Amino acid sequence: MSLVLDGLADGPARTLRLDAPLRLHSGQSLAGVEIAYCTYGTLNAERSNAVLICHALTGDQFVASTNPSTGRPGWWPTMVGEGKPLDPSRYFIICANILGGCMGSTGPGAIDARTGAPYGLSFPVITIADMARAQAELVTALGIDTLFLVVGGSMGGMIALEWVKCFPTRLFACALIATAARHSAQNIAFHEVGRQAIMADPDWRGGDYARLGVRPEKGLAVARMAAHITYLSEQALQRKFGRELQSEGLSFGFDADFQVESYLRHQGQAFVDRFDANSYLYITRAMDYFDLAESHGGRLADALTAAQDVRFCVLSFTSDWLYPTAESRRIVRALNAAGARASFVEIPSDKGHDAFLLDEPVMREVLEGFLASAAKERGL
C-alpha cells in the first residue's frame, strides 16, 4: 500500500508516497518516490469516470486551481472547469506533477534519503515511460483500474502515448494534442541549446548548486528564452512585436531595444522563479530519448497494436513547427494500421505550438464531441 501524505481535505493538492522502489527504464530503481497531484470532482461508484491529464515540459499539477507557489491560475482554463469539456461535475480529474519535476514530485531537486542532500546529478536519468509508470502507480493507489481518458498536449501527449503502449487496457479513450511519437533531430537540437546554456552558467556547479546555495538563473533563463521561441509561430511573433522598439530610437548598445527582446527576457526571468534547472535537464533528456517505436524495431504501428480498443483523438495545429502536423499524421497512420479507432483534425491557428494551451474554439469543439460520444459509450 502506498501512502497519501499531507492530503488537505478542502483543497485539490495531495502527495502520494510509493512504498516500493520504482523500477526505471534504465534498469536502475528509485526508492521513496513521491508524486504530487491534484484531483477535481468525484470518482463515481463504478470508478469509470477518471480522467488523467498529463502536463507538458514546464507544466504542473495545478491544471484547474491556483498554483500556490506562483499564485497563477490553473494552466488549462479553456478545457477544464465548470461548463468546459472536462467538467469536474462529470469527471474525476487527476493531474500529477511528473517524475523528475520540481513541483512536489520526486526529481533531482528532492532530498536523497541516503545522503540527506539534494540528488543533483546523482538522480537517475528517467524516461517518458518512467513518468507514465509513476502515474500508473498513482492511478492504482487511487483505486482506479481503467481510466476513462488520458489526455495530454506536447510532452503530455508523449506520456499519454506511453500509457497506450504500456497499459493499453487501462484506458478507454486517449486525446493526443500537438505531440509526436518521437523527438526529431530539430527537437533534440533545441533542447541541447537549453541544456548547454544551463551547464555553461558558473552557478550550475556541476549540478550541485542546491547544496551550495546558489542557482544557475542566467543559464536557465536563456534556455527558456530559446525554447519559448519554438512555442510560438513566426506570424504570431511578427504580429505581436514586429520591429517595435521599447522606447524612442535605438540605444546603440545591447539593452533590450526591441519589444521582442524585452518580452523574451521577461519570459526567461519569470521562468527561473518557478522552475529548477536540473529538472529542466532531466525532463528535456527524457523527451529527447522518447521514441515510442524504438522498442518495436521502429514500427510505430506494432507499438500500438495492443490499443485496438482505445478511442483516439489526435489534434495538431497548422502553425506548430515544434511538433508539426506530419508527426501527428505519423501517429494516425500507425493507429490506422493497428486497427485502432482514430480521429484526427489539423486545427487552423497561427499561434504555434502554444495554441493547445490557448482558447482555440475548434479544439474545444472537437474534444467536446469526442468526449461526449466516448462518455456515452462508457455509460457516463
Active site residues: 154, 320, 353
Looking at beta carbons only, is 282 or 344 nearer to another protein?
Answer: 344
Looking at beta carbons only, is 73 or 339 nearer to another protein?
Answer: 339
Looking at beta carbons only, is 226 or 345 nearer to another protein?
Answer: 345
Which stretch in 178-186, 203-211, 242-250, 368-376 sits in contact with another protein by CB under 8 A?
A: 368-376
Cβ–Cβ under 8 Å, residues 54 and 150: yes
CA-only gyration radius of the chain, Å: 20
Site for another protein in 327-346 (CB under 8 A): 329, 332-333, 336-337, 339, 341-346
By CB under 8 A, residue 56 contacts another protein? no
CB of 342 to another protein, least distance (A): 6
Nearest to 367 by CA among 94, 146, 86: 86
CB of 367 to another protein, least distance (A): 8
Cβ–Cβ under 8 Å, residues 343 and 370: yes
By CB under 8 A, residue 372 contacts another protein? yes
Count of residues that bind another protein according to CB under 8 A: 28
Cell of 230: 519554438
Site for another protein in 279-318 (CB under 8 A): 311-313
Q: How far apart (Å, rounded) are the C-alpha atoms in residues 229 and 268?
A: 11
By CB under 8 A, residue 172 contacts another protein? no
Looking at beta carbons only, is 243 or 376 nearer to another protein?
Answer: 376
Contacts 24+ apart (CB under 8 A), 103-106: 103/36, 103/60, 103/61, 103/62, 103/67, 103/69, 104/13, 104/15, 104/34, 104/36, 104/61, 105/33, 105/34, 105/35, 105/36, 105/134, 106/30, 106/32, 106/33, 106/34, 106/35
Looking at beta carbons only, is 89 or 373 nearer to another protein?
Answer: 373
Q: What is the DSSP letter of 309?
A: T
Q: How far apart (Å, rounded) are the C-alpha atoms in residues 54 and 226?
A: 23
Which stretch in 52-60, 63-71, 100-108, 363-371 sits in contact with another protein by CB under 8 A?
A: 363-371
CB of 341 to another protein, least distance (A): 4
Q: How far apart (Å, rounded) are the C-alpha atoms in residues 312 and 280?
A: 30
Among 10, 46, 249, 376, binds another protein (CB under 8 A): 376
By CB under 8 A, residue 171 contacts another protein? no
By CB under 8 A, residue 373 contacts another protein? yes
By CB under 8 A, residue 356 contacts another protein? no
Cα atoms in the 13 Å half-sphere on the side-chain side of 343: 15
Alpha carbon 138 to its chain's center: 16
Residue 292 φ/ψ region, left for φ over 0, alpha for ψ in the -120 to 50 degree band, beta for the rest: alpha
Looking at beta carbons only, is 139 or 366 nearer to another protein?
Answer: 366
Among 33, 51, 176, 347, binds another protein (CB under 8 A): 347
Spell out the residues 6+ positions from residue 136 whose beta carbon is closer than 8 angstroms to its own: 163, 166, 167, 170
By CB under 8 A, residue 370 contacts another protein? yes
Binding site for another protein (CB under 8 A): 311-313, 329, 332-333, 336-337, 339, 341-348, 362, 365-366, 368-370, 372-374, 376-377
